[in-house]
Homo-oligomer: A and B are copies of this chain.
Amino acid sequence: MSLKYGGDYNPEQWPEEVWVEDVRLMHEAGVNFVTVGVFSWALLEPSEGQFEFGWLDRALDLLHENGISVDLGTGTASPPPWLSSNYPEILPMDRAGTTLWPGARQHYCPSSPIYRERASILAGKVAERYANHPAVIMWHINNEYGCHVHECFCDESAVAFRTWLREKYGSIDAVNDAWTTNFWSQRYTSFEQILPPRVTPVFENPSQRLDFKRFSSAELFACFMAEKVAVRRFSEDLPVTTNFIGVFRHVDYWKWVSELDVISDDSYPDPLDPDAAMGAAMSRDLMRSLGGGKPWLLMEQATGYVNWRHVNGTKPGTMMQALSMQAVARGADGINFFQWRQSRGGAEKFHSGMIPHSGTRSRIWQNVVQLGADLTKLDLLEGWSVNAEVAFVLDWESWWASEGDGHQIQLNFHDNLLEWYRPFYEANIAVDFVSPGADLSGYKLVVAAHLYLYTDATAALLGAYVKAGGTLLATYFTGHVDGNDQARLDGYLGTLQDVLGLSIDDFSALAATGTRSSIAVTSERWGILECSEWSEYLRLRGANVHARFSGTDLDGMPAITSHAHGRGTAWYIATRPNRAGIARVVVEIASSAGVVPVVSGLPLGVEAVNRGAALFLINQSDRDVEIPLDGFDVLSNQQRFRPTLGAYASLVLANATEGDRRLAASLAEVAAR
């Protein structure tokens, strides 16, 4: 089998005579896989219950004749005009009561019975017609669930929310207890009184908000399942996917993955962001982790610019290839783009494509052709996996609860998470993400960054992991509440107090700007660390102090601690050091846990990842760098000695640290094909 290479192919945007040119160029670029029909509802079902498949038959036949496999969309991502015109009640409503109208896409309430019914009918019709079409090898359900409409506050959503609550809680008193409704006179006497958390005079009930996030994520999952069930009625075996969108706040992907045969991701790092490659790496690590380490697909990326940021730069030089290599290195078995041919019109006509507006004479097309050729040299990698010694606990429920109103800070969980991920990325230490209930035994270090909410069960798992010899690193904003977003009394943290050897007496945000925005932390090991955002009044219960606050009423109080618990160690960091400080502290903690980088001593900006026995070295910078290694490079099909790597260029070496000569030989064999 080959790595999959291609993109979204939307033949309905072009006259059929262009299709012939399309398949010719697909061959030229090495494309072997395209996704078809994602936004075809209006053409497949031009009026309610009337289906027209002729054009799609012709497109799929043409692709099949040319040896190109198809990931076939169910076509349900954007309701056609007739649907919202016939049934305006499907339109979503925001928390202020504003209807979101047609004219873009995803204008449906996830709880709308009519939307779900019509989407399932279409998905079933598509599956029925094409289950046995020889081009079709995968089903692609809907598109980027929740990317625009992740919550709906309409009356139909209210009904569905009540149903969800009834199922979760059983009785209205259980809701009242979980939501602390005795505060502010909110006690309900009937489920019928409950509403979605629409706009209120002031802060909403945080537990209600948390349950509404859970509900909203679950409703999107229910939309997915309704379509999947419809597809499975006609196709029992073909793998099913839906395209995720990275480390996305609004959908709890852990709850989805058991129903997906293939994990796939859409990834659009901002070329103008100096941290673009790091953010992309985090997404790729999450995708690999969602599938438990199994290969995944990069389902969408851009060849150059996108159209939807305020300012959109194109990917300079060969940045596109570098990010693609990163995905393969981190476990992807396919690289795909949105979309094959850049649209002439519509909202995304300035979203780049594999064939840009300027056609095949362009730099973009040359990059596409080169990447296609490079990927064919990596076919043997397919299925090989990445091993990580470090795991980050990622819990969407905690994320949601931590970013609500009424906290000491307006935590940006995603950006903070990235700051704790950064030292691992920069030191080329592989990282997995794990769900709060996951088995941790395989990891040398587990990071619980800002894990504001956890259940007693999660705390017990983390404690058992340490007791058995693991190293835990917890940061501030961890363990404040239980699963109902109710405070853990008497020192926060719950049973992790014993594990960390401390309690929290009080905490205080630091100001966003000005003289009260930073605090010094001093340490014999790390010198003076400049810290911001947060500070805490810790009460030691056995922990060792590695660094202390300096100045203000916190002067001399502990800031960074470790505690021996069982056979393991638990670290705690009670404030936010700046980047250099985080790097110093975290790398030492990782090292003390026995965590080893893939390669040490690489120039800044070079990413090193082992996938199986292959060592990827990717220059994510715009400068030439020298690589202090020798090895056989599969991409250039030659032995390289301390090579210079140009801007955004990559090497794929037989693993220099293991020196597996058999691998080098087999890779060379592939590369020579």
Chain B residues, Cβ within 8 Å of A527:
none
The reply to whether A46 and B187 form a contact with Cβ atoms under 8 Å apart is: yes
Cβ-defined partner of A350 (8 Å) among B98, B407, B647: B407
The reply to whether A208 and B313 form a contact with Cβ atoms under 8 Å apart is: no
The reply to whether B506 and A182 form a contact with Cβ atoms under 8 Å apart is: no
The reply to whether A348 and B183 form a contact with Cβ atoms under 8 Å apart is: yes
Cβ-defined partner of A42 (8 Å) among B10, B187, B490: B187
Greatest chain B CB density within 10 A among A189, A408, A486 is at: A408
Total identical chains:
3
Greatest chain B CB density within 10 A among A13, A103, A506, A511 is at: A103
Cβ-defined partner of A410 (8 Å) among B208, B311, B516, B622: B311
The reply to whether A185 and B80 form a contact with Cβ atoms under 8 Å apart is: yes
Question: Min CB distance, A421 to chain B, in Å?
Answer: 21
> What are 7 pairs between A and B in contact, CB < 8 Å?
A10-B183, A81-B188, A183-B345, A183-B347, A184-B347, A305-B408, A553-B647
Greatest chain B CB density within 10 A among A96, A317, A510 is at: A96
Cβ-defined partner of A180 (8 Å) among B98, B182, B343, B490: B343
The reply to whether A184 and B97 form a contact with Cβ atoms under 8 Å apart is: no
Chain B residues, Cβ within 8 Å of A65:
none
Known: A47-B189, A185-B105, A201-B105. A345 touches B312 (CB 8 A): no
The reply to whether B347 and A104 form a contact with Cβ atoms under 8 Å apart is: no
- Chain A 81-99, CB within 8 Å of chain B: the 1/0 string? 1100100000010001111
For residue A362, CB closer than 8 A to chain B, the reply is yes
For residue A102, CB closer than 8 A to chain B, the reply is yes
Cβ-defined partner of A203 (8 Å) among B187, B199, B308, B539: B308
Question: Min CB distance, A541 to chain B, in Å?
Answer: 11
The reply to whether A103 and B344 form a contact with Cβ atoms under 8 Å apart is: no
Cβ-defined partner of A408 (8 Å) among B200, B208, B350, B516: B350
For residue A470, CB closer than 8 A to chain B, the reply is no
Known: A189-B47, A201-B105. A346 touches B316 (CB 8 A): no
Chain B residues, Cβ within 8 Å of A358:
489-492, 503-506, 539
For residue A546, CB closer than 8 A to chain B, the reply is no
The reply to whether A314 and B202 form a contact with Cβ atoms under 8 Å apart is: no
Q: Which residue of chain B has the shortest Cβ distance to A647 in the bound complex?
A: B553
The reply to whether B198 and A103 form a contact with Cβ atoms under 8 Å apart is: yes
Q: Which residue of chain B has the shortest Cβ distance to A622 in the bound complex?
A: B552
Question: Min CB distance, A653 to chain B, in Å?
Answer: 25
Q: Which residue of chain B has the shortest Cβ distance to A92 in the bound complex?
A: B201
The reply to whether A185 and B407 form a contact with Cβ atoms under 8 Å apart is: no
